[in-house]
């Protein structure tokens, strides 16, 4: 079933939408959640919460790109669960490591005054990502959006781990400079 048909099932409030979403995007959502949480049971719960999130969001939202929409819900669910678990600082996953790597570039969201500033930051980061070469952008997104491990990225792109680490380091430095140029950091 194509994405538009699935979305129409949501608008019709037909519960088959959940089954069709699970069939088409279940592994995708589970993978995103597992990369962030590092625990299969928690990832499965996030996957289920993702379907509920989609059910509660559609309607009124009509996603343009359903895969990105459902992936974002899965990621947000996993990050919410991750934050709840990390009140005990001993919980280290790929998400913790990758988010720590970005901490020098991206300000902590608690320091922003309102949603408008967060949206502006998102626009600036999206602009930065569009400025990168396709391969560099894909590696960056794999690490910092999907929280893939260095080993997984190396395998996926056919690079050595040291090349991936260096590529990510240089991209983070570029991002920091890009943000400074746009006044995000003073």
Total residues belonging to the chain: 186
Which positions ≥6 away from 143 have C-beta within 8 Å? Answer: 98, 101, 150, 153, 168
Q: Where are the domains of the chain?
A: 3-85, 94-181
**Single pTM value for the model:** 0.69
Query: Cα separation of 7 and 12, whole Å?
Result: 9
> pLDDT digit of tens for each residue in the chain (186 aa)?
999 999 999 999 999 999 999 999 999 999 999 988 889 999 999 999 999 999 999 999 999 999 989 999 999 999 888 888 776 555 556 666 666 666 666 655 444 445 556 677 778 888 999 999 999 999 999 998 888 889 999 999 999 999 999 999 999 999 989 988 887 765
Query: Cα separation of 91 and 96, whole Å?
Result: 8
Cα 77 off chain centre by: 10
- Say if residues 144 and 128 touch (Cβ distance below 8 Å): no
Note the pLDDT of residue 112: 42
CATH topology of domain 3-85: Rna Polymerase Sigma Factor; Chain: A (1.10.1740)
Query: Cα separation of 74 and 30, whole Å?
Result: 8
CATH topology of domain 94-181: Arc Repressor Mutant, subunit A (1.10.10)
End-to-end, the C-alpha distance of the chain in Å comes to 49
At residue 157, what are phi and psi to the nearest 5 degrees? -100, -5
User: Other CB atoms closer than 10 Å to residue 85's CB: what's the count?
Assistant: 16
- Tokens representing 142? 């794999």
Give, in degrees to the nearest 5, the angle at Cα 92 between 87 and 96.
85
Query: Cα separation of 135 and 158, whole Å?
Result: 12
Residue/partner pairs of 115-123 with CB below 8 Å, 24 or more apart: 121/184
- Say if residues 116 and 183 touch (Cβ distance below 8 Å): no
């Amino acid at each position: 079933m194509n994405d538009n048909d699935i979305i129409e099932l949501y608008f019709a409030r037909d519960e088959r939408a959940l089954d069709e979403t699970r069939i088409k995007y279940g592994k995708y959502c589970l993978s995103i959640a597992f990369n962030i949480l590092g625990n299969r049971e928690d990832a499965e719960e996030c996957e289920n919460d993702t379907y509920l999130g989609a059910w509660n969001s559609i309607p009124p939202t009509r996603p343009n790109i359903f895969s990105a929409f459902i992936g974002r819900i899965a990621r947000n669910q996993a990050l919410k669960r991750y934050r709840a678990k990390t009140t005990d600082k001993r919980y280290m996953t790929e998400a913790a490591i990758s988010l720590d790597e970005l901490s020098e570039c991206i300000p902590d969201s608690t320091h922003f005054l309102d949603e408008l500033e967060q949206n502006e930051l998102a626009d600036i980061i999206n602009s930065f990502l569009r400025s990168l070469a396709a391969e560099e952008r894909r590696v960056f997104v794999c690490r910092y959006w999907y929280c893939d491990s260095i080993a997984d990225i190396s395998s996926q792109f056919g690079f050595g781990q040291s090349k991936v680490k260096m590529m990510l380091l240089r991209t983070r430095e570029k991002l920091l400079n890009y943000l400074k140029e746009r006044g995000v950091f003073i």
